[in-house]
Amino acid sequence: MNHLVIYVISDSLGETAEQVARASISQFTTTDYEIKRYSYVLDEENLGDILNLAKEENSVILYTLVNLKFVEQLVNFCSRENIPNVDLLSDLINSIALRTNLVPKREPGIIRKLDEKYFRRVEAIEFAVKYDDGKDPRGFEKADIVLIGISRTSKTPLSMYLANKNIKVANIPLVPEAEPPRELYDISPRKIVGLTNSPQKLNQIRTERLKALGLASNANYASYQRILEEISYAETIMRRIGCPIINVANKAIEETAGIILDIMKANGIKIYKD
């Protein structure tokens, strides 16, 4: 047989179409073929150039194009030049539209954007874990937002919640016995948020925490004197930095996160959409 050239044309990467081409050709006992993949075909002139190349060869065209104008151009060309062609998307898109009564977006590369969103979210979650609880102050510079506050002010849960919204969060506890790392003062206070809580709520949370650990509930960690000392110290640091302070007492994680997102927007910090 004549040398076969399978043209794969896509307005995205075209990986799926190429895999279909390879799966199909594997059903034949031949090695006299090649696959030419053309990715990100986004204008009529480019598409026309590729089609003109295809007509000069013993070709089959496999395509994943969502732009109906491009599909029409390709189909009309192949009809005139008698080139076999297979549309991998249109029939399925039309069938889904028929069954759902929804209108397809016909926007190239949507699945790639979804993949990018997924990996950005995974990266943000890994970042939150790596830079949780002040493990590495070098993360402050890389973070979209830095949360500071005393123990049991929801720093870690908030970091993870925001990470699931593709936001890179570092957090650090403030304790009177330890001066905050120098790196905290090297970044803009616009991306720092202070978290505090009411003494009563902290006493309740810390007491329950001690019980869960099998420790005495009257330990210094849960005493009002210690809690007031920590709150005073933390708020002094926050005022020195000049960052906003949120009292998380009686606030759900989602509510506090919403306030943080509003602060980020007001400060011009980029927020990726879900």
> What ranges do the domains of the chain cover?
4-108, 115-266
Q: How far apart are CA 15 and CA 71, in angstroms?
A: 18
Specify the long-range contacts of residues 26-29, CB closer than 8 Å, at least 24 apart.
none
User: Is 258 annotated as a binding-site member?
Assistant: no
Q: How far apart are CA 170 and CA 132, in angstroms?
A: 6
User: Is 150 annotated as a binding-site member?
Assistant: yes
- 10 Å Cβ neighbour count for 124? 23
* Cβ proximity of 234 and 148 under 8 Å: yes
Comparing C-alpha atoms, which of 219, 243, 25 is closest to residue 145?
Answer: 243
Is it the case that residue 62 has pLDDT exceeding 90? yes
Mean confidence (pLDDT) of the chain: 91
pLDDT at 211: 87
| 26-48: average pLDDT | 93
User: Is 29 annotated as a binding-site member?
Assistant: no
| 112-117: average pLDDT | 67
User: Is 36 annotated as a binding-site member?
Assistant: no
H or E element, residue 26: none
Query: Which residues share a beta bridge with 145?
Result: 169
Q: Answer yes or no: same fold for 4-108 and 115-266.
A: yes
* Cβ proximity of 246 and 256 under 8 Å: yes
Is it the case that residue 61 has pLDDT exceeding 90? yes
| 85-97: average pLDDT | 91
* Cβ proximity of 197 and 249 under 8 Å: yes
User: Is 206 annotated as a binding-site member?
Assistant: no
Is it the case that residue 274 has pLDDT exceeding 80? no
* Cβ proximity of 161 and 258 under 8 Å: no
pLDDT at 112: 64
Q: How far apart are CA 157 and CA 205, in angstroms?
A: 15
Q: Which amino acid is at 227?
A: I
Residue 66 phi/psi, 5° resolution? -100, -20
Assign 121 a pLDDT band (cuts: 50, 70, 90).
confident
pLDDT at 102: 87
Q: 4-108, what's its fold? A: Rossmann fold (3.40.50)
Name which of 12-21, 64-73, 86-95, 213-222 the model is least confident about.
213-222
| 136-148: average pLDDT | 94
Residue 257, CB half-sphere, CA atoms under 13 Å: how many?
19
Q: 115-266, what's its fold? A: Rossmann fold (3.40.50)
* Cβ proximity of 171 and 159 under 8 Å: yes
pLDDT at 114: 61
User: Is 156 annotated as a binding-site member?
Assistant: yes
| 91-111: average pLDDT | 83
User: CA 232, 237, 243: angle at the middle one, nearest 5?
Assistant: 115
How do residues 199-212 score in pLDDT, each as one tens digit? Answer: 999 999 989 888 88
Computed from CA positions of residues 108, 113, 114, 115, in that sequence, does the dihedral angle turn out positive or negative? positive
Is it the case that residue 151 has pLDDT exceeding 80? yes
User: Is 109 annotated as a binding-site member?
Assistant: no
Residue 240, CB half-sphere, CA atoms under 13 Å: how many?
12
- Stronger pLDDT, 44 or 118, i.e. the higher one: 44
CA distances, 151 to each of 134, 197, 219 (Å): 12, 10, 15
Share of the chain above pLDDT 70, in %: 96
- The counts of H helices and E strands in the chain are 11, 8
- 10 Å Cβ neighbour count for 127? 20
Is it the case that residue 24 has pLDDT exceeding 90? yes
User: Is 268 annotated as a binding-site member?
Assistant: no
pLDDT at 117: 76
Assign 60 a pLDDT band (cuts: 50, 70, 90).
very high
